[in-house]
Amino acid sequence: MIIAIDGPAGAGKSTLARRIAEHFGVAHLDTGSLYRAVALRALALGAAADPAVATPAARALDLSLLEDPRLRDDEVTAAASLVAAIPEVRDALLGFQRGFAHRPGGAVLDGRDIGTVVCPDADAKLFLTATPEARALRRSRELQGGSGGSIYGRVLADMKARDARDSVRQAAPLVAAADAIVIDTSTLDADAAFAAALAAIAGRLAVTKR
Ligand code: CDP
């Protein structure tokens, strides 16, 4: 069983994907971490936006980088969306993602293009969305704890810039698959989003079994 979870930054994909994977007892891959790892390597080599640097970094991806604490740094976050717009980088990461998805027992993958490109054959596809304000509030709380007040404005601006770049790029833009179930998490906490997602998946699996 393959479950695809896509959506913009801060919509709650990774938290939800982890819980869904745990619920079904299958593996989980946060595909954004692959683009972050490529960005980290390319930044170390001095040029994240240069295909001549980022493409070899993606082809020789060092999976130990997925554990690197610098992966969530602002600089790496911004660079990840630059390397993610390079078609050769996306191609280089496709095989690993598909291999992960098709492992025996199944998997949950979250990202931007799982339902559209990586796993168009997924058994259930969810597209999580929320207002930019709700997503920025969530992300700034995550980064800062408490209210997230003082960094909210910067997080909102960074997020809008990244969403725009992810949505307009030619290669695998951020878009809901035609057969994805859209869940707006603006007013849902993690438990409510989990309940909505489980109901949506159950509905989809019941239809495909018929
Ligand atoms: O956690 P957050 O949503 O902030 O970001 P992420 O999922 O770690 O993804 C970082 C960046 O990688 C995104 O801004 C996208 O540009 C890119 N990405 C992508 O293009 N395709 C994916 N399947 C996953 C991430």
pLDDT 10s digits, 87-119: 999 999 999 999 999 999 999 999 999 999 999
pLDDT band of 74, cuts 50, 70, 90: confident
Residue 172 banded pLDDT, cuts 50, 70, 90: confident
- pLDDT mean across residues, the chain: 93
Instruction: Check pocket membership of 81 for ligand 1, CB cut-off 6 A.
Output: yes
- Average of per-residue pLDDT across 188-199: 96
Q: Whose CA is nearest to atom 20 of ligand 1?
A: 84
| Tens-digit pLDDT profile for residues 30-49 | 999 999 999 999 999 998 88
- Cα 27–Cα 75–Cα 154 angle in degrees, nearest 5: 100
124 CB within 6 A, ligand 1: no
Question: For ligand 1, atom 16, which residue shows the shortest CA distance?
Answer: 81
Residue range 61-83: average pLDDT?
Answer: 93
Q: Is 152 near ligand 1, meaning CB less than 6 Å away?
A: no
- Residue whose Cα lies nearest atom 2 of ligand 1: it is 9
Supply the pTM of this predicted model. 0.93
Closest CA to 33 of 56, 4, 51, 58: 58
User: What is the reported pLDDT for 148?
Assistant: 54
Measure 206 CA to ligand 1 centroid, in angstroms: 30
pLDDT digits (tens, 9 = 90+) for 122-152: 999 999 999 999 999 988 888 876 555 678 8
> d(Cα 194, Cα 197) in Å, to the nearest integer?
5
